[in-house]
Amino acid sequence: MTAERQQAPRYIWLMGLANMTYGYGYAAVLVTLPQLLAARGVAEPRIANIVAVAMAIALLTFVLAPLLDCWMSRRAWAITLALLSFGQIFFALLLPASSLWFAILLPGGALALSLYNTAIGGWLGSVLPKDCDETIGAWFNIGNSAGFGCGAQVQFWLVTHLPGGTGAALASAGILLPLAILAAIPAPDSTRAAVHENFRRLGRDVGQLLRQPPVVRILVLFVLPCGAFTLTNAFGAMGRAFNANATTIDTATGIASIVISLIAALAFKPLLARIRAPLAYLAVGSLGGIFTLALLPLPHVAPVFVLAVLGENVAQTCAQVAQNTIVFRSIPLGSPLAATQFGLLQTAAVVPYSYMQALDGVGYGRAGIAGAFLTDGGVSIAACALVLLPLLRWLRAGALDAAPAASPALASPA
């Protein structure tokens, strides 16, 4: 490992913004294309089914992630996957509402975007010194949030106000613009021969990865609903119950949430230099759950709605920054399986979003808003309490830290 590799590179914040491709593309999958379908008269159940399939297919990322450590560099994988997601979303924006291709292009685009996120995350985790983990963890989240916010703001307008394929092309182009940032990310000392060697040993190496105690412990931590805060996905539909008008709902769930999330990520990052990221993760989950429960006695009025939206977004952002830091810190410098490990752990972090969304829905069905808040906050606090003592033991033993740095001869190229 060269001394140059050990030295912290400049512009780490800029490297994190490469994840804007992921956020911008997912805005098309989760916001813009559903908006277009609804505006063209497609029934809500069909839209929901298409989006649900897209999210389910994206969970295959952890199965396909090992491929990102083989065949070609992670840089090449990132560019290829960004182009693939661009093409699928561009053609999806051009389709008529009745087309059956939506059921193929949306899931395909979502999977390509998730794999792009994994390729970039594995690349950054393997080349940046470990004292950069807090910084890249924060800016990786900022890149996602900023990209998603920009996409949600401009894509629908571009497609509906510009003629022909011009709007679709410009709306999709934002997926490719952050690729210029890839030139700022350093590449490890390796050769293509290492890639082929990794491929021959891939099955054995993945099995060893899954048996590594730090990886298993982080998987356990992430699949528990300590910091999901999935109410952020339901506030758009709850606004009317708080007597909030359309402008208040759109502003609170749109630009206000984006701004407060960016501020929260930047403010939370310095705390991770003083508090271990896993402990900060549980602290955010517990305090966020307490905040959610504290909303129960408040009246259902528009100001309370805005408070709830912004507070939940702050909690979710801080939890995601802590998660990113935990994942990056668990990846050894120069790891030949960095993308595999990143994809596995990030997929685990997504799991609670699926079942907590369902649990919040059950709570809402039984007791309305109070039921959803009680379920979300109560389950989060209980999960944090359940894992607190094991986590303290793991931290004292250093059992969540990365293994010793991999040999440069085995590191896969970026």
- At position 70, the amino acid (one-letter code) is C
Rounded Cα distance, 84 and 93, in Å: 14
Distances (CA, A) of 402 to 26, 63, 162, 334, 378: 30, 22, 50, 11, 32
**Taking 50 as the threshold, does the pLDDT of residue 376 lie above it?**
yes
Rounded Cα distance, 58 and 114, in Å: 6
Average pLDDT over residues 369-385: 96
Nearest-CA neighbor of 93 among 148, 39, 16? 39
137-156: pLDDT as tens digits:
999 999 999 999 899 889 99
58-108: pLDDT as tens digits:
888 988 998 898 888 899 999 999 999 999 999 999 999 889 898 899 999
Gyration radius of the chain over CA positions: 21
Nearest-CA neighbor of 91 among 176, 168, 177? 168
The stretches of 234-337 forming alpha helices (DSSP H) are 235-238, 246-253, 255-268, 277-294, 302-330
pLDDT grade for 5, boundaries at 50, 70 and 90: very low
